Amino acid sequence: MTTPLTRRQFLKLTAVAGGSAAAMGGLQAVLNATPAGAEEGLLAPSGEEHIVPSVCLLCPSGCGVLVRVADGRAVKLEGNPMHPINTGSLCPKGQAAPELLYNPDRLTGPLRRVGERGSGEWEPITWDEAVQIVAQKLNDLRAAGHPERAACLYGETRGQMRPFIERFMQAVGSPNAISHDSLNIEAAKLATYYTQGVYDLPAYDLENSNYVLSFGANLLEAGRTPQRMVSGYSYMRRGRAERGKVVVIDPRQGVTGAKADEWIPIVPGTDAALALGLANVIIRSGLADSDFVHNYSFGFEDFKDGEGKSHKGFKEFVLQNYPPSRVEQITGVPATTISRLAGEFAGNPPAVAILPGKGGLLNGSINGLYTAMAVHMLNALVGSIETPGGVLAQRYFPCADWPQLPPDPVAERGRTAERLDGAGARFPLARHAYQAVADHISEGYPYPVEMLFLYDANPVYEVPGGTRFVEAFQKAPFIVSCASFMDETAQYADLVLPEPTFLERWQDDAIEGLGYPGVGLRQPVVEPLYDTLNTGDFLLRVAQAMGDPVAGAFPWSNFEELLKDRLKTIGAEWETLKELGVWMIPGYRFARRGSEKWVAEVVGRDRMSSPRDGRFDFFSRELNCALGELGADELKALGLSQAGDAVFLPHHEPVTYAGNAEYPFTLNVITLMSLGPYSAAANMPTLQEISGMTVGERWDSWLEMNPEAAHELELRNKDGVWVESPYGKLKTKVRLVKSLHPDVVNLPHNQGHTAVGRWARNRGVNGLEILNPASEPATGLASFTNTRVKVYKA
């Protein structure tokens, strides 16, 4: 347990927060609650109560929390005023966290399957037994010369956990540490990489922006850092003298569009064309940032390569192919609106165009990547890269180096094997293809899988056509699931190892979305309720049980010690970090264009094949390196209708939909702020109670439909309906929503569970069950928005 904060210690934090009004106000509110005469006492009444800082893990924001502990029980969470993401505020998910900690459906100890897979027959075992079983299985694979046949699928890994999992698999000898990023943020990360040369999500300086174009980015409900977006959005709109303008481009208005100045209901899958139409007007009107596009970019103008071959640049390509009149035909957005938006965007600097985390980017075609590239290029076109009010490059604290892996010929051979998900091979542009693993296991591609780890991973539920994983599991001899609840995937495992909740374990959390480096510390606020074990600690024990050389790669006795070692270079002592719950260097330091810092951190820092020359690519040299040698037939197999220079320039690729004219509606499975993307949230009563506040629904699913479309089908509000695609059908109720494109219907995510717990099970429907289960052939991204459905009365 940590030592609670004193008044004097807490006051010191104002310096760290930069003295912001929000932080100071939050501090004063906490200090006012301290009893008189307790100047050096706890930030809670004396006795058996105290407050412990931590970091929430019920949404990707990673908000700082202060947990009030009374008589050894966590009784209340509030926002940590020192944490820069939420500065003292806390959303309903964070407020409801005790329902996660004290949930009656949590797993209470390690289990081993004794019956058929999925039968629900288990026997309790000890952690020592679990460690020995897993260590022996891995050693057997290594002894047989096939360590690559072990794979790990992981979900939300924060801070050091992701590189730790990757290191563990590398030490064993497997390249198969596979992230679920291909279900959400990977398209945006790849687009930033193929343009700016940075493999990461951009950060946005909303507080200083004057104009925001949001392309399907659900800023106020869901995304990578929703709380950060809420804070920046609020300040831009009401926290300064001049109010910024927000335009939302999305088939669904949602909360973000309702709070915006303007909502543009676009035809699904056509955002790339709209972004390029805006670029056409900006270039034609002479509104582009001439200094940036000519001195700090590549491929804006036509050019010749080293062999003297001429290539078309972005400027001519866009002017020839994307006049507003043609873009209107593609997107349904009037040409006059396109011209007006372009003038407003370029004429009101600083302006930003914001990428979505998923949505229209996950449409089963390479159009998703080109869409994200086109949107991001709008920022470069108006000079909003690394400028106040523009796009920021997220910095991170430089952690201590990992020790070099011990010499190990078995592991070295295994690490060179092709990846199980096909990333870099079957999917040439992919870093991860999480959803493709099921088909590959069933096919035996590229080799049989003999051991499968699952960490915070529930692919049976969270992947389109997830039942494919149930079939694939029959060909995986041994499966280990690390989960807090018996979810849809864990029930098919051989070992289920209960993970403590975020209020019971050690974990760091990199602060994202503000640009400057920071880290939050998740720490046990109470003693673990049950016989659970942090997955990091479990894997450290497994490594030691395996013996050298694997054991030699992990010199730490527990995960807390690993964190201490890795974070020793951030500038704060461990005890200080525990007391504050957060450490940062506030205030973003902008790099001057073309400077050494610009090249090292902002433009080109992650490029692997093209020059790290500090130039933003309008013509993607990295894409040219990856696809430049492919012939027309090979490009067509990757879903490309274009050839030549167009392959390396963003362009609109028509989306191929699953479902013909018989299926008139595009199905969009949406993530809402209430339940979010995590399965455990569906088993928390408070979150179910507020799950559908925008339409007056709770504890169930619904289908959003435009009233005009419903009228044509003779459907009324709250009618029971079938939603049918070529892959199946679901029964729910229809709710009429005017602020929705007539050709689109929406199903909220995170209902329709068949497991997890009493409040999640058999409630509503899971829209992912009827989505196209394909993977995009070039990037390996999942298909989320290219399925058509028909709707009819039940």
The Cα–Cα gap between 132 and 112 comes to: 13
Whether omega before 388 lies within 30 degrees of 0, making that bond cis, reads no
pLDDT of residue 41: 33
The SS3 call for residue 241 is: coil
How would you class 789 by CB atoms within 10 Å of its CB: exposed for 0-12, middle for 13-18, buried for 19 or more? buried
Q: Which of 89-93, 401-405, 612-616 has the lowest mean pLDDT?
A: 89-93
**Residue corresponding to tokens 């429907």:** 765
Coil, strand or helix at 753: strand
Cα(236)–Cα(218) distance, integer angstroms: 17
Query: Cα(726)–Cα(783) distance, rounded to whole angstroms?
Result: 14
Amino acid at 770: I
Average pLDDT, the chain: 89
Mean pLDDT of 385-404: 91
CATH architecture of 665-793: Beta Barrel (2.40)
- DSSP H helical segments within 525-676, as ranges? 535-546, 559-566, 574-580, 596-597, 621-627, 632-637
Cα–Cα separations (whole angstroms), residue 151 to 434, 474, 478, 698: 11, 15, 11, 38
Determine the pLDDT at residue 360: 65
Q: Give the DSSP H or E segment for 728.
A: strand 728-736
Q: What is the pLDDT of residues 709-751, one digit of tens each?
A: 999 999 999 999 999 999 999 999 999 999 999 999 999 988 9
Query: Distance between CA atoms of 267 and 652, rounded to whole angstroms?
Result: 13
394/188 Cα distance (integer angstroms):
14
- pLDDT at residue 344, as a whole number: 95
**Can you tell me the mean pLDDT for 158-165?**
93
Closest CA to 678 of 461, 358, 513, 357: 461
Q: Do residues 446 and 421 make contact, with C-beta atoms less than 8 angstroms apart?
A: no
> Residue 221 has what pLDDT?
79
Peptide bond into 459 cis (omega under 30): no
pLDDT digit string, tens, across residues 651-671: 998 888 877 788 999 998 888
> Cβ(658)–Cβ(735) under 8 Å?
no
Structural tokens at position 546: 């395996």
Q: Are strands 297-298 and 518-522 parallel, antiparallel or unpaired?
A: unpaired
The sheet with strand 211-215 has its strands ordered as 262-264, 245-249, 211-215, 351-354
Give the position of tokens 């030691």.
Answer: 544
**Is the pLDDT assigned to residue 5 strictly greater than 50?**
no
Question: What is the pLDDT at residue 24?
Answer: 36
Is the preceding omega at residue 477 within 30 degrees of 0, hence cis?
no
Write down the pLDDT at residue 714: 92
- Work out the number of other CB atoms within 10 angstroms of the CB of residue 21: 9
CA distance 496 to 454: 10
Q: Could you tell me the pLDDT band of residue 778, with boundaries at 50, 70 and 90?
A: very high
Q: What is the pLDDT of residue 14?
A: 37
Q: Is 745 helix (H, G, I), strand (E, B) or coil?
A: strand
Across residues 44-63, what is the average pLDDT? 77
Three-state SS for 351? strand
Residue 709, both tokens: 């479309």
pLDDT tens sequence across 303-332: 988 888 999 999 999 999 999 999 999 999
Specify the pLDDT at position 19: 36
pLDDT digits (tens, 9 = 90+) for 245-268: 999 999 988 888 888 899 999 998
CATH code for residues 111-185+398-584: 3.40.50.740
CA distances from 521 to 2, 253, 529 (A): 12, 36, 20
The conformation of residue 134, written as its DSSP 8-state character, comes to H
Residue 338 near residue 328 (C-beta atoms within 8 A): yes
pLDDT for residue 405 is more than 90: yes
For residue 549, is the peptide bond before it cis, meaning its omega torsion is within 30 degrees of 0?
yes
| CA-closest candidate to residue 208, choices 88, 384, 22 | 384
Q: How much is the pLDDT for 671?
A: 84
Whose structure tokens read 């430049």?
A: 628
Cα separation, 165 vs 172, in Å, equals 11
pLDDT 10s digits, 325-375: 999 999 999 999 999 999 999 999 999 999 887 666 787 788 889 999 999
Determine if the pTM surpasses 0.75.
yes
pLDDT at 363: 77
pLDDT of 616 above 60:
yes
Q: Lay out the sheet containing 49-55: strands in order across.
A: 49-55, 64-70, 73-79
What are the domain boundaries of the chain? 1-33, 111-185+398-584, 203-392, 665-793
- The bridge status of strand 150-154 relative to strand 451-455 is parallel
**Per-residue confidence at 21, pLDDT binned at 50, 70, 90?**
very low
Residue type, 339: S
The model's pLDDT over 431-442, given as tens digits with 9 standing for 90+, comes to 999 999 999 999
User: What is the largest distance, in Å, between two alpha-carbon atoms of the chain?
Assistant: 80
At 112 the pLDDT is: 96
303-to-195, 306, 310, 609 alpha-carbon distances in Å: 17, 10, 6, 19
Q: What is the DSSP letter of 120?
A: -
User: Is residue 532 over pLDDT 50?
Assistant: yes
Say which CATH superfamily domain 203-392 falls into: Dimethylsulfoxide Reductase, domain 2 (3.40.228.10)
C-alpha span between 213 and 282 (Å, rounded): 14
Of the candidate ranges 34-43, 126-135, 145-154, 338-347, the one whose mean pLDDT is the lowest = 34-43
The predicted-structure confidence for 201-222, as pLDDT tens digits, reads as follows 999 999 999 999 999 888 887 7
- Is the pLDDT at 501 greater than 90? The verdict is yes
Distance CA(498)–CA(531), nearest Å, equals: 8
Question: Please, what is the Cα angle at 712 between 709 and 714, to 5 degrees?
Answer: 110
Q: What is the dihedral of CA 263, 267, 270, 275, to 10 degrees?
A: -20
585 pLDDT band (50/70/90 cuts)? confident
Read off the pLDDT of residues 139-160 as tens digits, 9 standing for 90 and up.
Answer: 999 999 999 999 999 998 889 9
Residue 694, both tokens: 């925008």
Taken in order 543, 544, 547, 551, is the CA torsion positive or negative? positive
Using a 10 angstrom Cβ sphere, with 0-12 exposed, 13-18 middle and 19 or more buried, the burial of residue 613 is middle
The yes-or-no verdict on residue 43 having pLDDT over 60 is no
